[in-house]
Amino acid sequence: MLHQTSPLAVAIFAAFVTGVLWLSFRLGRKGQSAQGYYAAHGQVHWAVNGVAFAGDYLSAASFLGICGLIAFYGYDGFLYSIGFLAGWIVALFVIAEPIKALGRFTFADALDARFDSRGIKLSVAISTLVVSIFYLIPQMVGAGALVTPLLGLPHWAGVILVGVAVTVIVVTAGMVSTTWVQFIKGSLLVFFCGLLTLLILQRGLVVNAGRSGPPDLTPQTRTVLPDGQVLVDGEPQSSEHDLRPVGTLARLPERYGDRTETGPLGPLAYLAALEDSTVVTWTKETSADPAGTQVTFTPRERPAAELLRPGGYFKGLAGGTLTARLDFASLMLALFCGTASLPHILIRYYTVKDAAAARKSTVVGIATIGVFYVLTLYLGLGAMTSGFLDPTNTNMAAPLLAKSFSETLFAVISAIAFTTVLGTVSGLIMAGSGAVAHDLAENVCGIRMTDHEKVRVGKLAAVGLGLVAMALGILFKGFNVGFLVGWAFNIAASANLPALVMLLFWPRTTKQGITAAVTIGMTASLAWILLSADTFEKVYGLPRDLAPMPFSQPGLVTIPLGFIVLVAVSLLTPPPVPARH
């Protein structure tokens, strides 16, 4: 669908970016020492840090991706919300306090706390960069994908806009400005999603989104010709002749009689009423021949109850094959184990003063993120029945839901969608900057630096990573962003979690064991992903059957592999010298 540029959205986004950059320059003097640049002097209040955790973690995949999945496929999108939040339990109860006590600037500091090993520093720095880059790509691609419909700019312009803004934020005051950007983003995101949810409940359920007559069930076609021209139902696409918006309610439950609106509903009553309603979704069929690629969207009525249980997106759950179920189990394991292994999340523990503050800030983070993930259910279901969905773009579900209420709310939510990218990308660039300057340059290569030089190298690394992020964002245009986030979680969980957990709970862990576990966990998960059926189909354009791996998500195999490798190598190498105490 063609989306009209919203001048108000442009104005709000410009105001937000200007405000954030002004704040960054104001805070610049606080990021001039290494302790300030990399860890905000360890003086961030735990409550601010907790909300900043939310700003760091709730990426475009969480906001736009999950809302879109629920709006298009129903309950299965909510399974991502459950998995993403569950990972924070690992962070709180297992990781938070030790990581704060052991580290200083980076994740490698913590893993290397006992050993002072160049092998650990090198392998963990590489794993930090790999995970951060895999997480950066979907954020940058998401920025480019949003900018076209919302601001009327080309994909590359969105990528460069976000890349430059984030690089400036990080370079001016490092972790100090990054923390405040993430705090503001986290607060705005939860507040406006809460407001949108209240509006959904206030509106209740409305048949055919308030339009007269029954829902239009006529199929629609979108054809892309070899020369790039787009046809809708056989005619050139234009703002006057475009796809109809989809996703609406066909009938209310019988108990509402002839009424076409329920009126305001409570949170549970809304879910119960929807469960008994009939919705209009659509099927999507693609056919390709030399004359062009045609997609047919066919509306169909179905009981909403079918969409409020598992199996809409993860097709293998209802009577599927064993490998499809293993694939799902593997993804859920990776989400559970991956959160506490993401370097850009872990470095946020160094910005508070002590272990107690780390614990308390994690609790604030869990509460903020938990509230947000509950809201995603209502946002997704509200979008599903709003009558405003674009059948060609899942990422637009949340902004278009806002548009069903008002243009102003659409502008605000669109601007917030961009800020989700700013907050997460700044955290990722900080993590990568520390890995390059602190781990690789200083600790692995042994380059002696003054405090001022450490900051300068960190800023140069941030600029370099910003350029890499922009290049990858442009290069991977059109790539499935949710797919890449899954990669990042799998690699992080496979490479980092076994080493971190065993270091904390198994005294026999050796430096060789940690180095081997990180290296093999990372390479095995990466190799598995590159040889999986999903990658064969979506990246290489090859038949799924040619892929050698039995299922696509590696975590179920590669996370245990990391533990096994660590134990085996540790037992085969001399035990560590007991710490003096």
Partner 1 sequence: MSQQSRDDLPRTITSASRLSLGLFAVYVLLYAGFMTLVLVRPDLLGSRPLGGVNLAIACGLGLILTAVLLAVVSVVVRSDR
Binding site for partner 1 (CB under 8 A): 75, 78-79, 81-82, 85-86, 88-90, 92-94, 97-98, 101-104, 109, 112-114, 116, 268-269, 271-273, 275-276, 305, 308-311, 317-318, 325, 328-329, 332, 336, 359-360, 362-363, 366-367, 370-371, 373-374, 377, 504-505, 507, 578-581
Q: Which CB, 85 or 184, lies closer to partner 1?
A: 85
Other C-beta atoms closer than 10 Å to the C-beta of 551 total 24
Residue (114 or 348) nearer to partner 1, CB: 114
Phi/psi-derived region of residue 9, left when phi > 0, alpha when psi is between -120 and 50, beta in every other case: alpha
**Residue 357 or 468: which CB sits closer to partner 1?**
357
Assess contact for 419 and 16: CB atoms under 8 A: yes
By CB atoms closer than 10 A (0-12, 13-18, 19+), residue 22 is exposed
d(C-alpha 160, C-alpha 166), whole Å: 10
* Minimum distance of partner 1 from residue 79's CB (angstroms): 7
One-letter amino acid at 290 equals P
Question: What's the rounded Cα separation, in Å, for the pair 245 and 435?
Answer: 46
Q: Give the C-alpha separation, 122 to 115, whole Å.
A: 13
> CB of 367: closest distance to partner 1 in angstroms?
5
> Whole-number minimum distance, CB 526 to partner 1, in Å?
25
Nearer to partner 1, 211 or 508 (CB): 508
CB of 376 to partner 1, least distance (A): 10
Q: Is 280 helix (H, G, I), strand (E, B) or coil?
A: strand
Give the separation between CA 369 and CA 58, rounded to whole angstroms: 8
- Minimal distance in Å, beta carbon 334 to partner 1? 12
Of 188, 17, 27, 59, which is closest to residue 488 (Cα–Cα)? 59
Instruction: Say how far residue 32 (Cα) sits from the centre of its chain.
Output: 30
CB of 300 to partner 1, least distance (A): 19
Nearest to 350 by CA among 456, 427, 448: 427
Nearer to partner 1, 72 or 84 (CB): 84
Nearer to partner 1, 131 or 308 (CB): 308
CB of 131 to partner 1, least distance (A): 22
Structural contact between residues 215 and 248, judged by C-beta atoms closer than 8 angstroms = yes
Which of residues 92 and 207 has its CB atom nearest to partner 1 in the complex?
92
Beta carbon nearer to partner 1, 97 or 534: 97
Closer residue to partner 1 (CB): 28 or 253: 253
Three-state secondary structure call for residue 394: helix
Question: Largest alpha-carbon pair distance within the chain?
Answer: 79
* Cβ atoms 303, 239 nearer than 8 A: no
Distance from C-alpha of 9 to C-alpha of 412, rounded to nearest angstrom: 6
CA 389 to CA 71: how far, in whole Å?
A: 8
Nearest approach, Cβ of residue 507 and partner 1 (Å)? 8
Order of strands, sheet of 220-224, starting from the edge strand that comes earlier in the sequence: 235-236, 230-232, 220-224, 292-303, 278-289, 248-251
Closest contact distance (angstroms) between CB of 419 and partner 1 is: 23
d(CA 173, CA 26): 9
CB of 308 to partner 1, least distance (A): 6
- Least distance from C-beta 234 to partner 1, angstroms? 40
Q: Looking at beta carbons only, is 59 or 81 nearer to partner 1?
A: 81
Is the distance from CB of 379 to CB of 536 less than 8 angstroms? no
Q: Which is nearer to partner 1, 113 or 164 (CB)?
A: 113
